[in-house]
Amino acid sequence: MKPSGQKEDTSSRAPRRVKVAEAIYLVSPQLVDREVKVYPTLSQAFRLLENDWEIQALLRMSNIMAVNRLGYNDHGPVHSRIVAGSSLIIHRLLQQGGIEFSIIKDGIGSIEDSLLVTLMGAYLHDVGNAVHRVHHNLHGCFLAAPILDRILSKLYKDSTKRTLLKQEILHVIFSHDEDVMTLSIEAGIVKVADGTDMAEGRARMPFRKGKVDIHSLSALAIKSVKITKGDAKPIRIIVEMENEAGVFQIEEVLAKKIRTSSIGRFLEVVALKDGLEVKYYDF
């Protein structure tokens, strides 16, 4: 019998067919469109983000730096939409699981404010790549600060509230890097969501296109990423892959982000091949 409190050893666990949950969400650029309709402020904020010329220019430049000059994967507007949608789904599942969000716990704001911080942090988290990939999380804070002043002033009349939420969003941007420990549930959500954008070659582990190595093989092995309610935890992330090389992507990107997200205890990750479990991760 497994001692109390000890994590399950899944290294020798036999493959099993995973039960499909009732509500399952495919990670995609379209996911965010439905989720922002929950609250008027959220919907307005998303429109402002999508239509702001400076934000879109920064995201375009982020892709020029990352894709054109470094040969990395997408870090532009499509990635922003994907991470925003995944973040809002994770937020909703945590709420359904009875998890208290940091913004509410610390008396900063409401559930709508928590969602807004999650959305804006997710959408803006990679703008720092417009300066350089190195320290991009720090560059992102400097670039986003005046933008947040402009956008939040259209959403909130209370200047104190705007200032508090601005700092929360900057914390999301700064701590999305896997080497930085997050200090809020909202920031942890975005960090994990960032790692879910890895289907069909959209891996977050940078790889040079045309080069055949474990990076490219693992990235191309992943067919889809889905988010749903777990059996024993609020969230299950399902990674479907064509071959076991995709496990490398999970362990080198998603798992590393989860371990510094501060919300790992609410998550489980399942790697599937042909509907059968290849590996199970309990954080």
pLDDT tens by residue, 166-195 = 999 999 999 999 999 999 999 999 999 999
Examine residue 75 and state whether it is found in any structural domain, yes or no.
yes
Examine residue 17 and state whether it is found in any structural domain, yes or no.
no
Domain count, the chain: 1
Q: What is the pLDDT of residues 142-172, one digit of tens each?
A: 999 999 999 999 999 999 999 999 999 999 9
Examine residue 174 and state whether it is found in any structural domain, yes or no.
yes
Examine residue 8 and state whether it is found in any structural domain, yes or no.
no
Domain that holds residue 38: 24-282
Examine residue 14 and state whether it is found in any structural domain, yes or no.
no
Do residues 234 and 278 touch, judged by C-beta distance below 8 A? no
Strands (E), the chain: 24-26, 222-228, 235-241, 267-273, 276-282
pLDDT band at 12 (very low <50, low <70, confident <90, very high): very low
Q: What is the pLDDT of residues 13-35, one digit of tens each?
A: 555 665 555 699 999 999 999 99
Cβ-based neighbour number of residue 32 at 10 Å: 24
Q: What is the pLDDT of residues 39-79, one digit of tens each?
A: 999 999 999 999 999 999 999 999 999 888 987 778 899 99
**What is the reported pTM?**
0.90
Examine residue 7 and state whether it is found in any structural domain, yes or no.
no
Helix (H, G, I), strand (E, B) or coil at 197: coil
pLDDT higher than threshold 70 for residue 211: no
Examine residue 214 and state whether it is found in any structural domain, yes or no.
yes
What residue type is assigned to position 243 of the chain?
N
Examine residue 121 and state whether it is found in any structural domain, yes or no.
yes
d(CA 180, CA 257): 9
